[in-house]
Amino acid sequence: MAIYKKGNSYEVRISYKDIKGNYKQHHKTGFKSKEEAEDYIANFKLKLSNNIIPLKDKITFSSYFKEWYETYKEPVISDNTKRRYRTYIREVKKYFNNKKLCEVNRKCYQLIISDYGKTHVKTSVTKFDFAIKSMVKSAILDGLIDTDFTKGITLVYNDDNKIEVDYLNLSEIKATVNYLIENLKSSPKTTNNYIFILTGFLTGMRLGEIQALTWEDIDFENNKITINKSWDDINFGFKPPKTKASNRVIDIPSILSNILKDKKKDKKDKLVFFNNTAHRVPVSQNINKSMRRLFKRLGISRNNYHFHSVRHSYVALAYSLGIDFYTISKQLGHANPTTTINTYSYLIEEFKQEQTDILVKKLDKLFT
């Protein structure tokens, strides 16, 4: 048994006899310190002495996937992602059945992913494949398999049942925002949700970021909002924002600042959008229901337009006003403009001809 330093981390190599008396090699990397590597060896020795080091040819694919998830993924992922991985555990059990980990090769995996793809859309297949790829890398590091059988696989999927997300055009965005501003106080029952929706249209904030908004986060004097947390619908409390870049301070239009200031006069709660009747902040179902009623009044037909689509509408509105993607990305909380461009590339195509016409006219004016 030996410990080696590799760059800024340590790796362990262990030679041992399995319960059949055969010599085996075990290799693991990624230890942050020598002490951590030594603890791992001590734990391995303990398992070895109790004959609980499993034989490679006895480990099923599904059991290793579950163990990998519980060891490496579950402690560090969000509750939403945990739900997705628990679904993966069931699907791995279904599609891989009782296959041994060592029995799965490229052909076997291709057949399985093709079968899985018959009833799943592209996004679902891609995410499922990513989870399997990550697990396979771990199995190689654990010395349980020798090759990555997920390389060179062709992903098969079925988009027949894919739900196309609806988006508003510019005239519909403007009509919606104007209606919200003009009718905020017409119905006290809908005021909270209407201001919630308006905040999304005028800031591009995520649902969880608006849910978690407190009065301390709003700088009314300078028309700014500090975003440093999100809302956990499951545990009914704050949680860290989606990414490191999501921690940001954004500028807001004065019209929204004034509306929020008026709202504060009647509020004693710490949370801006806490509903005293429901005893909670609005959840996505409430907001989407309010938007459907709103669109019905405006004669807008967008059955698959949900609150996350409001973020797209914010980008469309900002881009139509000539705002560059760097500024938009900072408002959205993206790490760099590339993320914003890749996510909203369809908007570039939509406005490309309009922008090209402006460019040509300006060039003509400059040189004639």
- DSSP string spanning 39-70? HHHHHHHHHHHTT-S--GGG-BHHHHHHHHII
Give the 3-state secondary structure of residue 9: strand
What CATH code would you report for 55-162?
Answer: 1.10.150.130
Apex 217 CA angle, 216 and 222, nearest 5: 100
Q: pLDDT grade, residue 5 (50/70/90)?
A: confident
Q: pLDDT grade, residue 143 (50/70/90)?
A: confident
Q: What pLDDT was estimated at residue 200?
A: 96
Tokens 């030594």, located at residue: 38
Q: What pLDDT was estimated at residue 340?
A: 84
Contact (Cβ atoms closer than 8 angstroms) between residue 311 and residue 339: no
Q: Is the pTM of this model over 0.95?
A: no
Residue 164 has pLDDT above 70, yes or no: no
Residue 53 has pLDDT above 60, yes or no: no
Q: pLDDT grade, residue 251 (50/70/90)?
A: very high
pLDDT digits (tens, 9 = 90+) for 173-222: 999 999 998 887 666 556 889 999 999 999 999 999 999 999 999 999 99
Residue 103 has pLDDT above 80, yes or no: yes
Residue 68 CA to residue 236 CA, distance in Å, equals 28
Looking at per-residue confidence, does 13 or 178 come out higher?
178
pLDDT digits (tens, 9 = 90+) for 315-352: 888 888 888 889 999 999 998 888 888 877 777 666 66
Q: What pLDDT was estimated at residue 349?
A: 67
Determine if residue 204 is left, alpha or beta; phi over 0 gives left, psi from -120 to 50 gives alpha, anything else beta: left
Q: What pLDDT was estimated at residue 360?
A: 83
pLDDT digits (tens, 9 = 90+) for 106-123: 999 999 999 999 999 888
Distances (CA, A) of 285 to 80, 152, 194, 210, 295: 16, 41, 14, 15, 15
Q: What pLDDT was estimated at residue 222?
A: 95
pLDDT digits (tens, 9 = 90+) for 167-187: 888 889 999 999 998 887 666
Choose which CATH entry (1.20.120.140, 2.60.120.620, 1.10.443.10, 3.90.110.10) describes domain 170-357: 1.10.443.10
Tokens 């291709």, located at residue: 110
